[in-house]
Amino acid sequence: MTAKRAITKITFLAVAFAVAGCGGNGSESEPAVDEAAMEVATDPAPGLRELLAGGSRAESDRARDAGRRPADVLEFLGIGTGMRVIDVIAAGGWYTEVLSIAVGPEGRVVAHNTPGILQFRDGRYEKGISDRLADDRLPNVTRLNKDFADLTADDGPFDAAITALNFHDVYNRNGPEAAVGMLQAVASVLRPGGVFGIIDHVGEASADNVTLHRIEISKVLESIEAAGLEVETDSDLLRNEADDHSVGIFDETVRGKTDRFILKVRKPGA
């Protein structure tokens, strides 16, 4: 079975469970990007921390910044002003809004969700993302509601993509082929040389990572290689030695402060 076919086996419940469990957070088309637009700034938005701390962000969103360190993460990934970025499995759009602020009015952000995720829990995530974007509150954001198997190059190209705390469930509940298919689908909408940031909870080989909602870094690296992508570097920004990986991510001793890895993955070409 090819990875492309395998990705179609990711069921509504499994992918929705990934988002519901981990809080990872009609389609609108985007204008074509010409070659000149490919040359974008890679510096974080000036004063991003200050911008995230103020403005119209909800207090509940700002409260998560300490554990997620979004300004530092985006700086590590090289996501900044003027870029075109896709938030993969955006759910209610926490990172979507962070990205909207980071890329500024000259940039563009697409909030991607699968139709199944938007239907889950009586439409909880549909309501969340709709409320967040209501009244053109984030004018540089549009939505893309598609299963991974339906993504095509015409949905891009994007300079960067990010998925936060989602990859482990795709892999654990659907297998390595489905995970590779997801990566290839995201790569199909990235420009050559584009960046894909993957954030997830660290797991151990001896543990029941399905139940714990974790994943071994080695499995992610194997999937990335199989998808034809390249790991440029990783970061310890969200590492936490106090988390020994033995409990689930919802355990009160680690909730919101799990040991997490960040991978900066790049699509070959430039």
55: three-class secondary structure by DSSP? coil
The type of residue at 123 is: G
Question: What residues have CB less than 8 Å from 50, skipping those under 6 apart?
Answer: none
H/E run at residue 265: strand 260-266
Taking phi over 0 as left and psi of -120 to 50 as alpha, with beta for the rest, 122 belongs to: left
pLDDT in the model for residue 5: 40
Q: Which residues pair with 261 in a beta bridge?
A: 200
pLDDT in the model for residue 58: 95
pLDDT in the model for residue 25: 64
User: How buried is residue 247: exposed, middle or buried, by Cβ count under 10 Å (0-12/13-18/19+)?
Assistant: middle
Instruction: Report in angstroms the alpha-carbon separations of 52 from 47, 57, 71, 141, 239.
Output: 9, 7, 8, 16, 22
pLDDT in the model for residue 24: 56
This prediction has a pTM of 0.85
pLDDT in the model for residue 10: 44
What are the structure tokens assigned to 120, written together?
Answer: 């889950």
What is the assigned CATH class of domain 3-29+36-243+252-266?
alpha beta
Where exactly are the structural domains of the chain? 3-29+36-243+252-266
H helices present in 54-203, as ranges: 59-62, 65-68, 70-77, 94-103, 115-133, 167-174, 176-188
pLDDT in tens, the chain (270 residues): 444 444 444 443 445 444 544 655 632 322 333 333 333 444 454 589 999 998 889 999 999 999 999 999 999 999 999 999 999 999 999 999 999 999 999 999 999 999 988 988 889 999 999 999 999 999 999 999 999 999 999 999 999 999 999 999 899 989 999 999 999 999 999 999 999 999 999 999 999 999 999 999 999 999 999 999 999 999 999 999 999 999 999 999 999 999 999 999 999 997
